[in-house]
Amino acid sequence: MKTGHQLLEEAKERTREVSAREVLQMRERGEDFAIIDVREDREWNLGHVPGAVHVARGTLEGRIEGVVPRERKVVLYCARGNRSALAADTMREMGYRDVLSLAGGIQSWVDSGGEIEG
């Protein structure tokens, strides 16, 4: 039996994390990637990264294949980087190979000068 904390730590070991600055630089370079917000509806409605697609963590497995193809690079984010790490691990298990989790979540995005819309 594992605790939630143990599951999260294991997922983070298997997941590539990226800083908000790195994602901002990827955008500046014009890299092609999808940015997916895995927070809940109420969090999304408070504001989100411009251009992000909302796929709540609770619906990820059933919706992600219709949102982004497996071969596309994906950056996932949530509030602090925990749900996005779990979501990235799930997507890896589903066959997605280039999935990144935004370390520190949307707060790190804001702290790094990233814009918010909504």
Residue 28 has pLDDT above 90, yes or no: yes
Residue 8 has pLDDT above 90, yes or no: no
Please give the average per-residue pLDDT across 43-67, as a whole number: 97
Residue 118 has pLDDT above 90, yes or no: no
Q: Where are the domains of the chain?
A: 4-111
Judge whether 43 and 118 are in contact, CB under 8 Å.
no
> 52 exposed, middle or buried (CB, 10 Å; 0-12, 13-18, 19+)?
buried
Fold of 4-111: Oxidized Rhodanese; domain 1 (3.40.250)
